[in-house]
Amino acid sequence: MSKQNQWIVGINAVASAVEHDAEHVREVLVEAGAKNPRLAEIETAARRRDIDVRRVAQQALDGVAGGVRHQGVAARYAAAKTWDEHDLSDLVGQAGGRALLLVLDGVQDPHNLGACLRSAAAAGATAVVIPKDKAVQVNATVRKTSAGAADSIPVVRVTNLSRTLAELQKLGVWIYGLAGDAKASLYALDLRGNVALVLGGEADGLRRLTREHCDQLVSVPMPGLETSPGVESLNVSVAAGVTLFEAVRQRSG
């Protein structure tokens, strides 16, 4: 697991870091004079955990937030919870034959990645896998959009996504890619064992090599596209939620 210093901002992201990973929060900045009661709750929780808290002017928060809406609070965080491909085998093994992985092939929008992390955490996914290159990484915007999920789910950064999919297959993980042109339906799959759900980026979907490393390509049935040709297909974060919770439905049954 790699570590780096960064600022995280926003009420949900900072509150989650203080609650779930206090040992890596170095200090919390709270806007002086702010009236939001949740800021007082964060300050109290941080002080209870012996985290330094400073009241600062809004301009100071604007500076560390880098353009992200900070809601009056920021925290200096000493460990971004990201894993690499060497940790995947352990994560899959610990899942006891019920690993649920979300693999994102080149998502560019930090809001989409944050929303995907939020859905993955809510679904109890084992990990989210993203490429190190040509894809957005876990930054302040992602952390804020994820509403704390970036602190609670492993985000595995890999150098070569195709190779990683091949390694997962060797570990007994079935790889299912979502593609709009696929004839098979998501709802026909058995998603109760070791499964990786692979979604493409916003512009181009799954890349050719990624598609070739999937055991099967499937689509989410969208009858509205047939009756209303102008309607767009699902956003990647919405598609991630649909696929993850189909797996949850099957596993809970």
H-assigned helices in the chain:
11-20, 37-48, 58-65, 88-94, 110-122, 140-145, 149-152, 161-170, 208-212, 223-227, 236-252
Q: What 3-state class would DSSP assign to 126?
A: coil
* CA–CA dist 16, 20 (Å, integer): 6
Return the closest-CA partner of residue 21 out of 154, 152, 139: 152
102 is known to lie in a ligand binding site = no
| Secondary structure letter of residue 219 according to DSSP | B
234 is known to lie in a ligand binding site = yes
* CA–CA dist 15, 73 (Å, integer): 9
- The CA-based dihedral angle spanning residues 31, 15, 79, 94, taken in that order and rounded to the nearest 10 degrees: -170
Number of H helices, E strands in the chain: 11, 11
Q: Which two tokens stand for residue 80?
A: 């971004």
Binding-site members are 200, 234
Binding residues for S-adenosyl-L-methionine: 200, 234
